[in-house]
Structure 1
């Protein structure tokens, strides 16, 4: 591949001065062309889908949707350089196999080193499978989540976990059922089983995790099994193990 090939860049940061620094530092790099700037993850999703940039400068901490949550819903992830003012996120970014991270404030020299690494990867075409690395990092985390970011078309939605009725297995995906809505997400049932508060969420079956606050009642299904009747009328089968867990959580 020609070393003179021009690669496209999208800058995502909620602070205009931070975006300006990146633009200014990029002036030394003629093979990188800025095709857009975004101040939040919602704008960024639309821009990524429309412009398909080769390189993404991505702030970690942004209002409404974080940089990590944005990457989580992308179908194709560009090469990423994180920029962040929060040192505790730097290691996470590195573990997620971003090409590099820039800890604000950073110098032109530090910026140029990150660009050098980026260009090596872009020219070689050996892009890291960032989606897989993101998933591995999420799986390894012990933290409970308080929201789920989903994508419909070119739009993102943030669903507080308290508004999730139940989650259903759907082959290699899960279906998230919210308030009169449902969203397909590339995620595993085990991830949600491990990262939703067990005081509110119970895996009642290999196919279902329910928010106990939206279980209206239990009804017998056959001699030894039950179904959970949800507040919106869905009937979800409960396994024997799931029934035992549900009894423990609901204290009956």
Structure 2
């Protein structure tokens, strides 16, 4: 039995799901094969907290952190986890998300202030009072995206 994950707009999801299931194909979030729509951006992410699964809207995400092959999804009030690569999220999150160093992707709409520091770096002060650093490797990309 083949299992696939659909990464398509909400409008197309149910149409495609019905067609695939009629052909005996299982639609599941843990599938090895992924069907992605061109120009698709994630609207929500399925994460774990303890033994429970949650759908987190990308609008509520402050940042994502990669540590020991696990992605930690930080919202204002909670932290969730899942197994995925940061590169996957860098490619599939909406445009307001930006990689700032090897381990973090930040939602730029959740930045309260930016402080330049020596050595071509920035400190970001986020709406949850967390402070993250933009590394030298991502300095120009961040600067161009923010419009400095």
TM-score by length of 2: 0.75
Further displaced range: 237-246 or 177-186: 237-246
1:101 aligned residue? 25
Structure 1 unaligned regions, length at least 5: 1-59, 61-66, 70-83, 95-99, 103-129
Query: Per the alignment, do residues 249 and 220 of structure 1 end up closer, same or farther by CA in structure 2, a change over 3 Å counting?
Result: closer
1:163 aligned residue? 60
| CA distance, structure 1, for counterparts of residue 42 and residue 55 of structure 2 | 12
What is the alpha-carbon root mean square deviation over aligned residues? 3.1
**Alignment counterpart, residue 226 of structure 1, candidates 105, 122, 126:** 122
Shift of 1:68: 4.5
Structure 2 unaligned regions, length at least 5: 7-15
Kept in 2: contact 1:172–1:188 (CA 8 A) = yes
| CA distance, structure 2, for counterparts of residue 141 and residue 85 of structure 1 | 13
Shift of 1:220: 3.0
**Structure with greater proportional helix content:** 1
Query: Per the alignment, do residues 230 and 224 of structure 1 end up closer, same or farther by CA in structure 2, a change over 3 Å counting?
Result: same
Q: Does 1:86 align with 2:10?
A: no
1:184 aligned residue? 81
**Structure with greater proportional strand content:** 2
SS for the counterpart of 1:206 is coil
Q: Which one has the largest radius of gyration?
A: 1
2:101 aligned residue? 205
Match runs of 1:60-71 below 5 Å: 68=5
1:123 aligned residue? none
| CA distance, structure 2, for counterparts of residue 85 and residue 196 of structure 1 | 22
Q: Number of aligned pairs?
A: 135
Q: Does 1:153 align with 2:38?
A: no
| CA distance, structure 2, for counterparts of residue 247 and residue 90 of structure 1 | 46
* Higher RCO, Cα 8 Å, sep 6+: 2
2:41 aligned residue? 144
Kept in 1: contact 2:121–2:134 (CA 8 A) = yes
SS for the counterpart of 1:193 is helix
2:145 aligned residue? 249
